[in-house]
Amino acid sequence: MPKASQAFIDALNEALSEEMASTIQYLWHHIMARGLASAAIADMFKELSMAEMRHGYSIAERIDLLGGVPTTAIGPIKVGGDLRKMLKDDLQAEVESIAIYRRLVKQAEQEDDPVTRRMLEDILKETEGHARDLEAILEE
């Protein structure tokens, strides 16, 4: 059974906390979306919420496997405002997550944990895609 340093478990728990916050933030944005473009964007918010939930589940499962205890702490959540504000808040959360995952990939290498590194790289790739999609909508 692989073991990880407490610093790495703590860093993974930080990512887990952010994923849980993003799950809730996107879900609330899905529910609260209003305006001309709201139907398509609300559907996107719902899909992104489910993607964030999958990320959180993967991280929690990995923390447990590595001998840690997955956190129940939820990061900061921004809700409300018009669609543009929601999109900007979501983009900011994705940008912050990208920085977290880039740091975690390096930590996984230092921990000599290629399985966790690959999982984090997959999440990073999806997160970068989310940010790109949000940027594209905001630039319309």
Over residues 47-94, the pLDDT tens digits come to 999 999 999 999 999 999 999 999 999 999 999 889 999 999 999 999
Cβ within 8 Å of residue 119, ≥6 positions away: 58, 59, 62
Q: Per-residue pLDDT tens for 11-42?
A: 999 999 999 999 999 999 999 987 767 888 99
Determine if the pTM surpasses 0.75.
yes
CATH architecture under which domain 6-138 falls: Up-down Bundle (1.20)
The residues spanned by each domain of the chain are 6-138
Q: Is 79 helix (H, G, I), strand (E, B) or coil?
A: coil
Nearest CA to 2 among 120, 104, 103, 117?
A: 117
